[in-house]
Amino acid sequence: MRACTGVVVGVLALLMVLSQVTGQNTESIVTLVLQKLGGLWHNGEVDFMGHSCMYNYRPTISRWKLYYKGKMWCPGWAPFSGRSRKKSRSGAIEHATRDFVQKALDSGLITKEDASAWISQ
């Protein structure tokens, strides 16, 4: 998290310097950057196999590369969550869902037929 905060502060400082040099409006540039950075995090809710489930992704930096950590869980149905770390937001959610389905299959919450759409056997 410290690395991510450092990157954000660095980018904002660079944009402020560039805006002074080019005469751009600092507020509009900072607002644009903050909007883009805000899109890196997402929380959502989905109906999954008849259950109300939650999912999210968030950015993380490892060895100077941006990754997304995905998580999917279904409160009240399953005592576990599916997790992943991928280079894309959609990949993080997809693989977190696959991990959740595999755990649900292993614990007997769903059948192989239910899982077949999500896990390639």
pLDDT digits (tens, 9 = 90+) for 74-113: 999 999 999 999 999 889 999 999 999 999 999 999 999 9
Cβ within 8 Å of residue 73, ≥6 positions away: 53, 54, 55, 80, 81, 82, 100
Q: In this predicted structure, which of 13-22, 24-33, 98-107 has the lowest mean pLDDT?
A: 13-22
pLDDT above 90 as % of the chain: 50
Which residue from 72, 60, 67 is spatially nearest to 118, judged by alpha carbons?
Answer: 72
Q: What would you report as the CA-atom Rg of the chain, rounded to the nearest whole angstrom? A: 19
The pTM is what? 0.72
What would the mean pLDDT of 1-9 be, rounded to a whole number?
57
Look at strands 81-86 and 42-48 and give their pairing. Answer: unpaired
